[in-house]
Amino acid sequence: MKSYTHSAYNAPPPGCQRHGIEGVSMSQEDIAGEDGFDEEAARASLSEQQRIRREKLAKLQAEGRDPFAVVTWNQSHHSAEIKEKFEELENKDVSVAGRVMSFRDIGKASFIDLQDRDGRIQVYLNADGLGADAYAEVKTWDMGDIIGVEGYVFKTRRGEISVHAKRMVLLTKAIEPLPEKFHGLKDPEQRYRRRYLDLVMNPQVMDTFKKRTRIIRAVREYLDEREYIEVETPILGTIASGAAARPFVTKSNALNLQLYLRIATELYLKRCIVGGMERVYEMGKDFRNEGIDIRHNPEFTMIELYQAYADYNDMMELCENICAHAAQVATGSTTITYQGTELRFAPPWRRLTMMDAVKEYGGIDFASVASDEDARSLAVEKGLADELKKKLKDCTKGDILNAAFEKYAEKELIQPTFIIDYPADISPLTKQKPGDPSMTERFEAFIYGREIANAYSELNDPIVQDDRFRQQAKERELGDDEAYMLDEDFVSSLEVGMPPTGGMGIGIDRLIMFLTDSYSIRDVILYPTMKPVN
C-alpha cells in the first residue's frame, strides 16, 4: 500500500499488490521515495479529528460497508416541504437526505439536525425506532456526514417538526470536520476559496445564490416575452472593443495568434442587428484586466441588449422595468433596502442631463462654457486636473464635464437615476444629439452612487463611426490604453446598413448586489478571482 490516505480510501483485498513491477521486489522506502508519499508522514500531518474519521471509514470499508459505494437514495421530501405541509404529512412516512449539522445525544435517544437544499429538518432517533444495533451504529457517525433517513413525521413536545427515524443509512462519509456550528465559517478568504464550506455553513450565502439564479431567470424571461433573441458571441477575438477597458491577452497555439478575451459584446450584437435579428441580447461574462475591489471582479456578468427601431428613451423605459421586475421577483417588492438605505426601483426613475447634474451638485454651469480653452481654465480653477485621464492640454470640454460629473454628482445619485446626454468625446459608439453634435443620446443609470447601466441610441453612420474610431486611435497614442480599438469589420457591417437602434448594457452582478443586499461583488460571484495560495 502506498499511503495511509490511499489505503483508507480504497483498501485493496489482502494479498493484492497494487504497486511495483512483477518479479521485482521493492522495499517500503523505495515505494515511499518513488512518489514522495510516506505513510507515517501522511498520518502525522493529519489532525486527530481527520485521523479518527479516516479510521472510521477504513473500518466500514474493511467490513464491506463502504459508504462511497452507495449510489442512490430516494429523497421523497425536502425539509421545507415537510414543515410547510405538516398537517398533511403528520404520522406519514417520508424519506429525506442531507448533511448532519448537529448531534444531540440525550441518553438513549438522540436528535440530529439534517440539512438539505432547502434548510434543516430535525431527526429523532432511539433504539425503539431503529433497533439497538442500528442506533449504536448511528452514534458513530460524525457531523458533516451525509445520510438518508426514513421515518414518520411528528412534532416534538417543544413543537419542533421532526422525522422519527425507522431506518438510517450513511450515504457519504465526511473525513474532514465542519467549521464551528454556531459561528460558522467567517474568514473571508476561506469563504471564497472554499465556497462549498461557506454554502454548507452560512444559509444566507445559499439564499443569495438562489436569488442570483432567480434574478437572472427573471431578466431573461422579461426579454424573451418581448421577442428578444438570445445569442452567444465570441469571447476570444483579435480585437477587444466596445468598451473602454484593458483586456486580458491570450494566445491561440493553432493559429499562432495573440487573442484577447472580450471586454464587451457590443460590436457583435450590433452585427446581429445589421443581419436583421431586430431584438437581440446576450448575457454572459466579460473580462477586464483592471483593479479588483469590492465592486470589481476581473470576470463579471453583463447583459447587453439591442432593439432595432428604438432609441435611448426606449432603453430607459426598458431599464427601469427590468430592474423593477427583478427586484419584485427577488424580494417581493420594488422598494428594497441596501446596506441600510431604502432604494425605490419603481418606474419612472429621475432623469437629468449630465450638465444639469453638474450644475445641481457641483454648482458649475457648463452651458456658459464656450470653448475647450474655457473648460480647461475652469478645470484648473476647480481642481479637476487630478480627475482627468489625459494631460490637461489634450482635454476637451466634454472630458472636463465628465470629470466634473464624476467628482461632484456621481456619489450623490442614491435613488435610481438616469444621467442623460453624454459628451460625444467619451461616447464613440453613440449617435449625436440632433442640433448639438458635441453631445450624444446616451445615458447611464446610477443607483447608490454606482453605475449600473449604460445605453445609447446606437451610432449607425459608418463614416462617422470610422472617424470616431480613428479619434480613439489618437487617444491611444496620447496614452489612454483604454481607448476603443478600431474594428474595421464592424464598420463594414454598418456600411451594409444598421437600422436605428437602441442598445443597453446592465451590470448583472451589481444588480444582484443590490437585490441581495450584498456588500461586496465577491458575495454574489460563487468563485471570485483569487490568487493561488502558493
Site string for RNA, 302-341 (x = CB under 7 A): ----------------------------------------
Q: Choose between 115 and 454: whose C-beta lies nearer to RNA.
A: 454
Residues 185 and 61 sit within 8 Å (Cβ to Cβ): no
Q: Choose between 83 and 295: whose C-beta lies nearer to RNA.
A: 295
Touching RNA, residues 392-451 (CB under 7 A): 450-451
Reference 270, options 504, 526, 434; nearest CA is 504
CA distance linking residue 124 with residue 151, whole number of Å: 9
CB-neighbour burial class of residue 257 (10 A; exposed 0-12, middle 13-18, buried 19+): exposed
User: Of the candidates 116, 142, 304, 399, which one interacts with RNA according to CB under 7 A?
Assistant: 142
Q: Does 455 bind RNA (CB under 7 A)?
A: no
Q: Does 177 bind RNA (CB under 7 A)?
A: yes
In the complex, the smallest distance separating the C-beta of residue 508 from RNA, rounded to whole angstroms, is 9
User: Of the candidates 22, 48, 63, 489, which one interacts with RNA according to CB under 7 A?
Assistant: 48
Touching RNA, residues 249-308 (CB under 7 A): 288, 290-291, 293-298, 300
In the complex, the smallest distance separating the C-beta of residue 246 from RNA, rounded to whole angstroms, is 8
In the complex, the smallest distance separating the C-beta of residue 177 from RNA, rounded to whole angstroms, is 4
In the complex, the smallest distance separating the C-beta of residue 156 from RNA, rounded to whole angstroms, is 3
- 218-227, Cβ contacts within 8 angstroms, sequence gap of 24 or more: 218/325, 218/326, 218/329, 218/330, 219/283, 219/303, 219/322, 219/325, 219/326, 219/506, 219/508, 220/283, 222/321, 222/322, 222/325, 222/326, 223/279, 223/281, 223/305, 223/322, 226/279, 227/278, 227/279
The single-letter code of the amino acid at 75 is Q
User: Of the candidates 482, 499, 500, 517, which one interacts with RNA according to CB under 7 A?
Assistant: 482
What Rg value do the Cα atoms of the chain yield, rounded? 31
For 128-171, the DSSP string reads: HHH-HHHHHHHTT--TT-EEEEEEEEEE-TT--EEEEEEEEEEE
372-382 helix and 397-404 helix, angle to the nearest 10 degrees: 30
In the complex, the smallest distance separating the C-beta of residue 279 from RNA, rounded to whole angstroms, is 23
CA distance linking residue 433 with residue 420, whole number of Å: 11
User: Of the candidates 106, 254, 367, 370, which one interacts with RNA according to CB under 7 A?
Assistant: 106
In the complex, the smallest distance separating the C-beta of residue 275 from RNA, rounded to whole angstroms, is 27
Touching RNA, residues 51-70 (CB under 7 A): 52
Q: Which residues pair with 103 in a beta bridge?
A: 112
Q: Does 187 bind RNA (CB under 7 A)?
A: yes
User: Of the candidates 5, 7, 95, 126, which one interacts with RNA according to CB under 7 A?
Assistant: 126
User: Of the candidates 47, 238, 333, 339, which one interacts with RNA according to CB under 7 A?
Assistant: 47
Residue 45 CB: number of other CB atoms within 10 A?
12
Q: Does 522 bind RNA (CB under 7 A)?
A: yes
In the complex, the smallest distance separating the C-beta of residue 80 from RNA, rounded to whole angstroms, is 15
Q: Does 9 bind RNA (CB under 7 A)?
A: no
Could you tell me which stretch among 91-99, 322-330, 429-437, 506-514 binds RNA (CB under 7 A)?
506-514
The single-letter code of the amino acid at 271 is R
Could you tell me which stretch among 175-183, 203-211, 353-361, 490-498 binds RNA (CB under 7 A)?
175-183
Could you tell me which stretch among 60-68, 100-108, 228-236, 434-442 binds RNA (CB under 7 A)?
100-108
Q: Choose between 18 and 181: whose C-beta lies nearer to RNA.
A: 181
3-state secondary structure 444-507: EEEECCEEEEEEEEECCCHHHHHHHHHHHHHHHHCCCCCCCCCCHHHHHHHHHCCCCEEEEEEE
Q: Does 452 bind RNA (CB under 7 A)?
A: yes
Could you tell me whether strands 229-230 and 279-287 are parallel, antiparallel, or unpaired per DSSP bridges?
parallel
Could you tell me which stretch among 8-16, 97-105, 315-323, 495-503 binds RNA (CB under 7 A)?
97-105
In the complex, the smallest distance separating the C-beta of residue 411 from RNA, rounded to whole angstroms, is 10
Q: Choose between 212 and 522: whose C-beta lies nearer to RNA.
A: 522
User: Of the candidates 76, 95, 102, 377, which one interacts with RNA according to CB under 7 A?
Assistant: 102
User: Of the candidates 10, 17, 28, 156, which one interacts with RNA according to CB under 7 A?
Assistant: 156
Q: How many chain residues are in contact with RNA, going by CB under 7 A?
A: 77
Touching RNA, residues 221-250 (CB under 7 A): 243-245
Greatest CA separation for the chain: 95
Q: Choose between 127 and 473: whose C-beta lies nearer to RNA.
A: 127
CB-neighbour burial class of residue 29 (10 A; exposed 0-12, middle 13-18, buried 19+): exposed
Q: Does 474 bind RNA (CB under 7 A)?
A: no
Q: Choose between 252 and 529: whose C-beta lies nearer to RNA.
A: 529
The single-letter code of the amino acid at 12 is P
Q: Choose between 269 and 308: whose C-beta lies nearer to RNA.
A: 269
CA distance linking residue 427 with residue 460, whole number of Å: 13
User: Of the candidates 13, 91, 182, 254, which one interacts with RNA according to CB under 7 A?
Assistant: 182
Number of H helices, E strands in the chain: 19, 19
Q: Choose between 318 and 447: whose C-beta lies nearer to RNA.
A: 447
Question: How is residue 256 annotated by DSSP?
Answer: T
User: Of the candidates 5, 119, 184, 500, which one interacts with RNA according to CB under 7 A?
Assistant: 184
User: Of the candidates 188, 275, 348, 437, which one interacts with RNA according to CB under 7 A?
Assistant: 188
